[in-house]
Chain A
Amino acid sequence: MSVKLNTRQVGDVNVIDVAGRITLGEGSSALRDTLREMVAKNQKKILLNLGEVSYIDSSGIGELVSGFTTVTNQGGQLKLLNLTKRVRDLLQITKLITVLDVHDDEASAIRSFA
């Protein structure tokens, strides 16, 4: 029902595999906490794999955005991987697709981190 987050490391990039719903409440706060922990541990190359995200609401979108700005302001990079059609559509109508770095292939996403 809610969200499940799995973190793994590929080289110096931290991949967060997200599954389920990123919505107001548990879902968005779990994501926020995970991102903050990573930044606090100086892990600032973060790839958010949203391939298994079934649902995201405006609060979840807000969490993606604030995660992006938090990591960027700390000199890091946050990129998105494997958007489902629903999430892609949402990022398109909110125009966030124009500011967020979105990838469809994990290997090339990993390589894109400077």
Chain B
Amino acid sequence: MALRRPVLTGARTGGESEIVHILESTLESVDTAEALALGAARTTGLDQDELQKIAMAVRESMVNAVVHGNRYSAHKKVRLSIASGPKQFTVKVADEGEGFDFDHLPDPLAPENLLRSSGRGIFLIRAFMDEFQVRRLSPAGTEVTLIKYLMAR
């Protein structure tokens, strides 16, 4: 069943080419987004280790958007934007959910949280990417921006 509804809008912003995909709020979309980001990241010349970090950060962001943001709603979409430029590789994931308090997340490395079964997603994204930004959208939704710097080769 085709759950992906890719709306490809090639846009140019500041010398970067950006591709936008509108995805359903399903776990299949998580895999789709991961594969799309990985495919695009492969063209940057980053090594396998860095590619895996990007793939995983995108996966965690998509899970947050689909599961916690849109709560699997068939009426809510996830907007995935992938932009590759000379200096950085950027992925944005935006949901239409009610929002999330990113400033008061428990520290997953604190001894009392170490054996918790959840709460590591954002921590891993921060660990794997060079920049991580969060923006509240109007009227509803959250957009996260993941940036990996591209070293001069």
Contacts and interface: CB of A to CB of B under 8 A. Distances in A.
Interface of A: 23-25, 57-59, 61-63, 65-66, 68-69, 86, 90, 93-96, 98-99
Chain A at the B interface: mostly helix, strand, loop or mixed? helix
Interface stretch (B56-64, B84-92, B98-106, B139-147): B56-64
Nearest to B56: A57
B114 A23 contact: no
B34 to A, nearest CB: 9
Contacts of A99: 114-115
Interface in B106-138: 108-109, 114-118, 120-121, 123-124, 127
B85 to A, nearest CB: 27
B94 interface: no
B120 A24 contact: no
B52 interface: yes
A63 B114 contact: no
A90 B38 CA distance: 19
Contact of A57 (B60, B108, B114, B117): B60
Nearest to B60: A58
B80 interface: no
11 contacts: A24-B30, A24-B67, A57-B63, A58-B118, A62-B120, A65-B117, A86-B52, A90-B124, A93-B124, A94-B109, A96-B114
A24 B114 CA distance: 19
B27 interface: yes
A23 B60 CA distance: 10
B48 to A, nearest CB: 10
Nearest to B121: A58
Contacts of B115: 65, 68-69, 99
Contact of B120 (A23, A25, A69, A94): A94
Contacts of B127: 93
Contact of B63 (A59, A95, A98): A59
B59 A23 contact: yes
